[in-house]
C-alpha cells in the first residue's frame, strides 16, 4: 500500500496540540510507517509553495489545530482544505475556538490598544499599530489581517472530523490513527469522544447536589472521592462531552470543559449555567445575589473553550 500523505498545521493555538502528537512516543514510528509528512511547521521545514503546488485532494489526512483569527490562517486553512481528502479539526481551538476565542469578548481595536499602548511593557509613544501593508524603500511589506472575531475551523472551511481536547489525549489520537489505518473511519461530521457527558463517566461518589457556596479551585482542597460540584467547585462535567480519560478529575481538579458540549447540546455555557443554578441552595434574593457574586466570571468560565461555537459567538459591541 502506498504511504498516506499527512499534513499537520497550527493556526491560533499554543503548540500544545503539536506536542500532543509527539506524546504518542514510540507510536510515532507507526505513524511514520503509515504516512509521509508533507507539512508540519512546528517540526519540519516544508514551504507553503510546495504544498500549493500539490494537486487537489492529494493529502490523505490533515490535522489542523488552532482557531482562525487572522487572514493567513484562513488562507492556509482554505488551501489545506482543497489539498486534503480528510480534514480534521484537531484540539479544542480548531473545534470550538478554544482559549484564543476568549478574545471574542473584545475586538481588534481593543486588543491592539491593550497590547500596543496600555501594556506596561509597550513603549509606543507614536501610537503605531501593525498594518497589513507598509511601504518601505525596498518595496511593500505585508502582514496578515487581524480579525475582530476568532472562529472555529468548521466556520471557515468544511471539516470531516473533530478531535477535541486541550490538547487531545494520546489515546484518542491513537484511536483516530487506528481507525484511519484500518479504513474504519466513522461518518464525516463525527466528534471523536464519548456520546455521554463527562459526569456520566465520572467515578466519583455522587449524592444529592445542593450547594450553598461556590469555591474557586485555589480556595479549597477537595475530597478526592466525592463529586467536585457537590463540594462547591464549578466542574463543567454536566455540560461537557466525555471520552477525555478524566485526567483533570483524577488530579482532583474540576473539569474546565475542553471537550465541548455533549451530543445534542447546542450551547455549552447555557447548559452549565442552568445546571449550576439548579443545584445552588438559594432561598431568597440575598442568597441569589451571593451566588452571582461567587461566580466571578460566568461567561469566561462557562465558555472557556467554546466562545466561537456558542450561540452568540462573541460579545456584542
Q: Which residues bind other proteins (CB under 8 A)?
A: 68, 71, 74, 105, 107, 145, 147-149, 151, 156, 269-270, 273, 276-277, 288-289, 291-292, 295, 297-300, 302, 312-317
Nearer Cβ to other proteins (5/256): 256
Nearer Cβ to other proteins (60/74): 74
Cα(297)–Cα(301) distance, rounded to whole angstroms? 6
Smallest separation (angstroms) from other proteins to the CB of 147? 5
Question: What does R_g of the chain's alpha carbons equal in angstroms?
Answer: 22
Cα(253)–Cα(83) distance, rounded to whole angstroms? 41
Nearer Cβ to other proteins (54/282): 282
Smallest separation (angstroms) from other proteins to the CB of 277? 6
Nearer Cβ to other proteins (8/273): 273
Beta carbons of 61 and 7 less than 8 angstroms apart: yes
The count of other CB atoms within 10 Å of the CB of residue 61 is 22
Element (H, E) at 2: none
Smallest separation (angstroms) from other proteins to the CB of 267? 11
Phi first, then psi: what are they for 251, rounded to 5°? -90, 15
Cα(58)–Cα(39) distance, rounded to whole angstroms? 13
Smallest separation (angstroms) from other proteins to the CB of 273? 6
Angle, to 10 degrees, between the axis of helix 170-181 and the axis of helix 27-34?
A: 30
Cα(186)–Cα(163) distance, rounded to whole angstroms? 12
Nearer Cβ to other proteins (61/308): 308
Nearer Cβ to other proteins (74/230): 74
Closest CA relative to residue 249, chosen from 262, 236, 239: 236
Amino acid at each position: 500500500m502506498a504511504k498516506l500523505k499527512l499534513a499537520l498545521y497550527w493556526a491560533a493555538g499554543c503548540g500544545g496540540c503539536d506536542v500532543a502528537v509527539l506524546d504518542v512516543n514510540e507510536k510515532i514510528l507507526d505513524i511514520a510507517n503509515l504516512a509521509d509528512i508533507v507539512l508540519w511547521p512546528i517540526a519540519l521545514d516544508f514551504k507553503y509553495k510546495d504544498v500549493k503546488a500539490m494537486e487537489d485532494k492529494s493529502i490523505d489526512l490533515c490535522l489542523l489545530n488552532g482557531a482562525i483569527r487572522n487572514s493567513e490562517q484562513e488562507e492556509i486553512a482554505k488551501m489545506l482544505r482543497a489539498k486534503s481528502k480528510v480534514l480534521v479539526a484537531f484540539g479544542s481551538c480548531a473545534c470550538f475556538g478554544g482559549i484564543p476565542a476568549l478574545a471574542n469578548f473584545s475586538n481588534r481595536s481593543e486588543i491592539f490598544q491593550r497590547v500596543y499602548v496600555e501594556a506596561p511593557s509597550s513603549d509606543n509613544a507614536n501610537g503605531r499599530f501593525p498594518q497589513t501593508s507598509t511601504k518601505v524603500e525596498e518595496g511593500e511589506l505585508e502582514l496578515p489581517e487581524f480579525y475582530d472575531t476568532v472562529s472555529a475551523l468548521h466556520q471557515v472551511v468544511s471539516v470531516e472530523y473533530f478531535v477535541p481536547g486541550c490538547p487531545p489525549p494520546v489515546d484518542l489520537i491513537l484511536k483516530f490513527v487506528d481507525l484511519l489505518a484500518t479504513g474504519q473511519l466513522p461518518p464525516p461530521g463525527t466528534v471523536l469522544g464519548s456520546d455521554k457527558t463527562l459526569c456520566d463517566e465520572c467515578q466519583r461518589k455522587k449524592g444529592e447536589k445542593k450547594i450553598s457556596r461556590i469555591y474557586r479551585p485555589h480556595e479549597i482542597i477537595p475530597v478526592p472521592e466525592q463529586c467536585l460540584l457537590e463540594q462547591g467547585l464549578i466542574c463543567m462535567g454536566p455540560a461537557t462531552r466525555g471520552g477525555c480519560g478524566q485526567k483533570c478529575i483524577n488530579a482532583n481538579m474540576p473539569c474546565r470543559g475542553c471537550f465541548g458540549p455533549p451530543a445534542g447540546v447546542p450551547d455549552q455555557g447555557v447548559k452549565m449555567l442552568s445546571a449550576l443554578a439548579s443545584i445552588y441552595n438559594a432561598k431568597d434574593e440575598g442568597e441569589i445575589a451571593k451566588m452571582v457574586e461567587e461566580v466571578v466570571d460566568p461567561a469566561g468560565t462557562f465558555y472557556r473553550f467554546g466562545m466561537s461555537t456558542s450561540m452568540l459567538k462573541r460579545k456584542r459591541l
